[in-house]
Amino acid sequence: MSHRSLRRTLSAYQVGRYDPTTRLSAGRFVHATLTPEGPGTLLLTWCNDPAPPAECQLQADAWGPGAGWLLAQAAGMTGLDDPPFDAGLSFPDAPAVVLRALRATRTTRLGASNNLYHLLLPTVIAQRITGGEAIRQWGRLCQRLGEPAPGPAEVVGDLRLPPAASALVGRPAWWFHPLGIETKRARTLTQVARHASKYWDWCQAGSANVAHKLGLLSGVGPWTVGSVLGPALGDPDAVPVGDFHFPNIVAWNLAGEARGDDDRMLELLAPYAGQRGRVLHALTHAGQRAPAFGPRVRLLPTRHL
Q: What pLDDT was estimated at residue 49? A: 95
10 Å CB burial of residue 152 (0-12, 13-18, 19+) is: exposed
Q: What pLDDT was estimated at residue 294? A: 55
Q: Could you tell me the residue ranges of all domains in the chain?
A: 6-82, 83-305
Cis amide prior to 53 (ω within 30 degrees)? no
The neighbour count for residue 52, using CB atoms within 10 Å, is 11
Q: What pLDDT was estimated at residue 291? A: 86
Q: What pLDDT was estimated at residue 26? A: 95
What's the CATH class of domain 83-305?
Answer: mainly alpha
Mean pLDDT by 10 residues, the chain (305 residues): 90 97 97 98 97 94 98 97 88 95 95 98 97 97 98 98 97 98 98 98 96 97 98 98 96 96 98 97 95 58 42
